[in-house]
Chain A
Amino acid sequence: VGGEEVVGPNEHVEIDAEALGGTTSGLRPERHPLERQRTNTSASEEGGHLAQRRGSVKPTQRLGSLPVARVAHRRRFHPGNLGGHQDRCHHTVLCGPVEGGPRDRDERAVGFETEPHPDEVEKLEGLLGCTCWEHGSRVRHDHGVSDTPRPTRVLGAQVRYEPAPDPPAEPVWTHEGASATADTVWFPSEHFSVCVRGTTEVIIEELPGGDESLIGPMLYGWATRILLLHAGTFSLHGSLVRLGDRHVVIGGNSGAGKSTTIMALALGHGAQIIVDDVVPIRIEDGMPIAHPFPRPVNLMLDTIERLGLEVDGARIGQGPYQKRAVDLGEATGPVPVDLLVTLVAYDPDPHEDWPNTVDPIEEPTDEQPVILNSVAGAERLRRITRLANNQGLAAAGDRGQPFFEWSTALAGSLPTVEVARLRRADTLDEVCRRIVTTAASLDHS
């Protein structure tokens, strides 16, 4: 689990552009009524105009352009962990009393920051009302983990920490252990099992040895997408920024560099970050309108260091790929989306942890480490379905028809470019420059 994706990548809905090929021998294309001038542009034409329209919805609120260091270091012991399910206890246990730290329902300290004295162990067991302390490996594993805030609500849904119900016998969708009915989704991971019911309830069952710091990203990522789906709203896997008077979605698979790019755009080009990772979009009067919601940006530690940020937000994950959460505060109101940038991080010799998951239109090289191409027609639709379909879940069951209408309307109205870069740090500035230039070149007509 890389923090954002609980279920592995796959495509359920795809465009078979070749399925009907080979039947054009008799019809002369020069007389075909649909003959048209393609609008693809090459990297050298990035400054050219892309067909563009103005939306009627204006942002109602602005965010600061440097959303850094706004998260206080928080230590919480979630009340949902106290009592209840003694036979499946996965309590987070810190070491040593924390002055002013987490407390239980009766306002008794339950957190520790150094190796606990045996008396403290006994005290802790009494507070928790269970025998969780016997899970020695779990306790050691969780040292320091509980600085992660554990949301009790996400997108208006209640988040409960309790045993998840069994998955359905006859799901309408399955993928790598995950399954769904029309209004409920179950998905497992090595850290926790999650059940999202309708638009009102998220149940999280933590598993022994699991990393609870991944709960937040899961809630703001997968669970949010599912809640949106249940509410009839589709979303793009991407981040939304305001560049000048344009709103740009930076889309891409996990690991493509979305969060890093938007932070670099904020720091170096005055971009306003509106929402990270999940961009809910509705088609209103034929125009794509984003409906942002409040959630943090999760940044890799090396990215934080490279960008020179001071971030004291919640830690997410373990080891070299751990992240920190950067709070963005309140969300803006609905805004029109003017441009979709699909980021592709390409490695000619990929690391096993970061495989090339998307083939770029044109592969970047050492001589040309960043390449921009316009994406048009069915290929644009293919990119959008990849960013929106959540391994087939978005179009599952009765949502197939509405997802088709949404995705084709979005692909028909949203100018799209692909920015492919070599997966190395020194391409970031050029990626940002290309995005800024492209957004500025959009036709205002």
Chain B
Amino acid sequence: MPAQPPIFQRVPGASSAVVDGDTVVLSPTDMRYHALNDTASAIWDELAQPRTLDQIVSSLSERYDIDPDTCRDDVDACLASLADVGVVSSQPAPPG
């Protein structure tokens, strides 16, 4: 059976707010604020519900004029950044 792709989600306690058009996220581990650029903000919105990388890429590719490979690279890098600052985590998909 092929490995299930990980599911990305917002870390519990990672609050966000839109301030005058800018999305700002609170990292619950160190209480630092992080202002998201437009790409990160769009991905953060996608993560209102847990998503796989493919689901995020598929959704953004439909909304933006971008080829899927480039979009995947961008989303992958952004998810890594969001995980680094402690506002996004991933977990294995449930079996089945």
Contact = CB atoms under 8 A, between A and B. Distances in A.
A351 interface: no
A21 interface: yes
Contacts of A405: 15, 17
B11 interface: no
Given A23-B74, A27-B42, A412-B19, A378 B35 contact: yes
A31 B20 contact: no
B74 A16 contact: no
Contacts of A378: 19, 22, 24, 33, 35
Contact of B34 (A15, A34, A35, A36): A15
Interface residues of B, number: 40
A401 B15 contact: yes
Given A13-B32, A27-B66, A19 B24 contact: no
B64 A32 contact: yes
Contact of B81 (A23, A377, A408): A23
A191 B27 CA distance: 37
Contacts of B18: 412
Nearest to B15: A404
A39 B20 contact: yes
B32 A376 contact: no
Nearest to A28: B65
Contacts of A33: 42, 63
Contact of A12 (B31, B65, B66, B73): B31
A24 B37 contact: yes
Nearest to A17: B35
Contact of B26 (A19, A22, A401): A401
A25 B78 contact: no
Nearest to B68: A26
Nearest to A404: B26
Given A19-B81, A20-B78, A32 B20 contact: no
Nearest to B17: A408
A148 interface: no
A251 to B, nearest CB: 17
A24 B20 contact: no
B19 A381 contact: yes
A395 interface: yes
A1 to B, nearest CB: 27
Interface in B14-59: 15, 17-24, 26, 28, 31-42
Interface in B48-96: 60, 63-67, 70-71, 73-74, 77-78, 81-82, 84-85
Which of B26, B33, B71, B84 gathers most chain A CB within 10 Å? B33
Contacts of B66: 26-28
Contacts of B77: 22-23
Given A401-B26, A412-B19, A16 B31 contact: no
Contacts of B41: 34
A17 B40 CA distance: 11
Q: Which residue among A26, A377, A409, A411 has the maximum number of chain B CB atoms within 10 Å of its CB?
A: A26
14 contacts: A13-B32, A16-B85, A19-B34, A20-B39, A24-B39, A27-B38, A27-B42, A376-B21, A378-B35, A380-B19, A381-B24, A404-B33, A409-B17, A411-B19
Query: Which 6 pairs between the two chains have the least Cβ-Cβ distance?
Result: A378-B35, A408-B17, A377-B22, A26-B70, A400-B31, A26-B74
Interface of B: 13, 15, 17-24, 26, 28, 31-42, 60, 63-67, 70-71, 73-74, 77-78, 81-82, 84-85
